[in-house]
Structure 1
Amino acid sequence: MTITEYREEKEEEEEKEEGPPPFIESLIGSGPRRIALFVEPSPFAYVSGYKNRFQNFIKYLREMGDEVMVVTTHGGVPQEFCGAKVIGSLSFPCPFYTNVPLSLALSPRIISEVVQFKPDIIHSSSPGIMVFGALTIAKLLSVPLVMSYHTHIPVYIPRYTTTWLVKPAWFIIRLLHGSADLTLVPSAALAKELEQARVTDANKICVWNKGVDSESFHPQYRCDEMRLRLTNGEPEKPLIVHVGRLGVEKSLDLLKSVMDKLPEVRIAVIGDGPYREELEKMFSGMPAVFTGMLEGEVLSQAYASGDVFLMPSESETLGLVVLEAMSSGLPVVAARAGGIIDIIPEDQEGKTGFCFNPGDVDDCLSKLKPLLHDCELRETIGQAAREEMEKYDWKAATRIIRNEQYNAAIWFWRKKKAVLLRPFQWLFRCIFHVPEANYR
């Protein structure tokens, strides 16, 4: 290796490790911006853990003075949300999970709408198909691109297809996020995993802080009528509550194994999904109530009217339903995996909630039984959980993204504007008459 080659390699390594400077907010500024969000599936129609995340994100971006455009899948899309323009893109069902609509979002209509909007930054949910459209448009417009990673596909693939697809999935994730200026993840545990998998540079991975609507999810919503419904007319019996999308990847068969050992306990399963029919057959003849989807105050009542919240899933990138349960004053027993570790860290176990070894029914029961049969312990843990959740809100999380993490993305984008794409960007600007973004 020549001295010149060594110096070039050293400079590349230093550039890779270098992160944005401190006080980046004051360096770049955080005045009103135009933000184009590409979200797939729709946060207005598809019920999932990130629905509340994106709806609150849009709401508070608008409150902070930003112009927002949302491009999403077409089903159930409103014309606007909290003053943000919403554009539905023609979509098709996911081959392996037909309840999830997908869209490339690269039609001339979508491109024209985004160009006319003149975004200062593009933010896309990932993984999916729409993220390819967001990536293409961001590169052609030459604007910073942020990707937020919400569904850990490598964990889901073996449940729905075959394991040999896991490596190609990681390759695509690296390809996408390596092209982004910043990657947001919902938990520190997931950030560490993506860093270890070398999805992108470690300094380009940031945590999208957790948040919960502590006013909507509150112990005050405890309701005798709802408890009567969830216990199937036996409100005096201990009640386990589970809320979430009913998919095979959620390890919900553990609920059945637990209930086999607790004949005196009742369980309410709240939510819907492709695994619901099989679950109902599994629980046939048992004291279980399946409510289907609940929303609004009815959902708040369902949380607050239970005794213990049980989360067996090992694939949660965060676990927003766990936050909502804790905010409702419910003690949580959850699998020690994924984003749950961020919500109930090791030093808080036994104080704000309990974790069990994933898939270990006996360990789960050892944490559940004391809570189900000791009212004082339930109240102590539930109150501590509620107090912990009062520290978090969506507005604070949005402010960090807007004022710090978006600015970091702009800083990285400035450093590595793609020279090779300039001829294509010039041609694109000529066709669509696009003005160049100017960050001050």
Structure 2
Amino acid sequence: MNKTYVDRLQYRQQDIPEYFRFYFKHNKKKAIAFDIDLFRDLKEPRLRIAIVTETWAPEINGVALSLLQLCKGLQSQGHKILLIRPKQKKSCLEFQPNKECLVNGQSIPKYPEMKFGWPQYLKVSQAIEAFSPDVVHIVTEGPLGFTALHAAKSRCIPVSSGFHSQFQEFSRFFDLAFLVKPIQKYLKWFHNATQLTCVPSRDTELALREFGVTCPLTIVGRGIDTQRFSSQRYSAKLRQQWGADEDTTVLLYVGRLSSEKEINVLIDAFSELRNSTQRKVKLVLVGDGPDRARLEKMQGADHIIFMGSLSGIQLAEAYASANVFVFASQVETFGNVVLEAMASGLAIIAYDYACAQLHVKHQQTGWLCPIGNIKQLTLHILEIPDNATLRSMGQQAMHDVQTIGWQQPVQQFEQALYRVKQDSKLLT
């Protein structure tokens, strides 16, 4: 029997209910199969959590889809969830909150498919009061998040927040550079007004510290559904639709078609690749957004396939049917699409930060370059190896992410919420 485990068992006996102590005393071999933390959890009261978000599935973006997985995980652990969000035309069929508060929504400029919630203070305040949450977690810092922050504070309910989108950086790409400092100032104030902020990566943690966020920060990572995203989703029919045979190298991008994603860098590099090689190549862009019309008019765009927004099996098939994933964005807090591509058996070309930095092995499962080095990123695209090499690297990438599920991020989020509740008790 593992001595370290026995010592831990003996050291933490006081955490185990009496009947489990008796069981372990007479069945010590059985004890190896259990994690004592599970028994401590039996004594932890389940939380009542108000989740406030201005984006929610079935909207297609990393924040909405990640939040859906976290909420599903929390609810499966017995926690109760009040979901406060804007009304949507379509409903999410994968999750049913214990309670829900829907406010009016307003389309976000340049993103008509996404909305921000109206600051309906009375409605939000009454919903929070009726639910009586242990903690209010605010996912987005817009008008609805601002309203929920004040509603929770007025009732002395502990508040945590999440930082998922670098809005202050987006403004640079919309000729709104003059807003960078004011937005940073607001975000600094907002997160410092909460007791803890959850971030998806170390890079995001450092970025928040740089512009003055001083509240406690904790990393809540991201997972991947390897049943949904897999090389087994390969579709010969889809490749035929793309005009790609077995010898064609298909470069794939998935995400918003928006200027901050710098898709023009990918199109320029692809055009240069087409002009410098005899091999057959295709560039497939999956997603939609305000930059689509401009991108479709770029030189060489007539050789690019615009698929529009995809989800579910169609999205999984698009990943698995390509050969390499290319990603030029420099404003990601994480970059879920990189994990989805790796799980689908694709090698990655991206900047060395956020998700790619965490999971891509340079020259083994893809190619990384210093953030902002467009010349180096373009060079990696121009030097893409043959399909057999890409397939081998993609299989290694898929193998590397097989154990990256959602269980650990859910546990990280759960412990962050327990911490907020506990710290609040210590302050009272």
| TM above 0.5 | yes
Write the distance in 1 (CA, Å) between the matches of 2:425 and 2:174.
40
The question of 1:236 aligning with 2:247 is answered: yes
Aligned partner of 2:187 in structure 1 is 173
Instruction: Give % identity.
Output: 24
- Residue 382 of structure 1 deviates from its aligned partner by 1.1
Residue 224 (str. 1) matches residue 232 (str. 2): no
**Match for residue 366 of structure 1?**
379
Shift of 1:119: 1.0
Match of 2:396? 384
Matches within 5 A, 1:208-287: 208-229=220-241, 231-263=242-274, 264-282=280-298, 286-287=302-303
Task: Specify the SS of the correspondent of 1:184.
Answer: strand
TM-score (norm 1): 0.81
Bigger Cα displacement from structure 2, 324-333 vs 46-55: 46-55
Aligned-partner Cα distance in 2 for 1:40–1:413: 26
Task: Report the 3-state secondary structure (helix = DSSP H, G, I; strand = E; otherwise coil) of the residue aligned with 1:59.
Answer: helix
Alignment of structure 1 residues 279-358 onto 2, 5 Å: 279-282=295-298, 286-344=302-360, 348-358=361-371
CA RMSD of aligned residues (A): 2.4
Match of 2:81 in 1: 68
Q: Which residue of 1 aligns with 2:143?
A: 129
Shift of 1:126: 2.7
Alignment deviations for residues 326-368 of structure 1 (CA, whole Å, 9 cap, x no partner) = 0111001012345533333xxx322232112445444224323
Deviates more, 1:28-37 or 1:252-261: 28-37
The aligned amino acid for 1:364 is L
Change (3 A) 1:137 1:28: farther
Aligned length: 385
Question: Shift of residue 161 of structure 1?
Answer: 4.0
Greater relative contact order, per chain length (Cα 8 Å cut-off, separation 6+):
1
Shift of 1:212: 0.9
> Is 2:212 the partner of 1:198?
yes
Give structure 1 stretches of 5+ with no counterpart: 1-22, 418-440
Residue of structure 2 equivalent to 1:187: 201
Instruction: Name whichever of 67-76 and 108-117 sits farther off.
Output: 108-117
1:398 aligns with 2:422: no
Partner letter of residue 115 of structure 2?
Answer: P
Alpha-carbon distance change, 81 to 307 in structure 1, aligned in 2, over 3 angstroms: closer
Structure 2 distance, partners of 1:138, 1:186, is 24
Q: Is the 8 A contact 1:34 1:66 kept in 2?
A: yes
Q: State the TM-score, normalized to the length of structure 2.
A: 0.84
Counterpart of 2:151 in structure 1: which amino acid? I
The answer to whether structure 1 residue 35 and structure 2 residue 49 are counterparts is yes
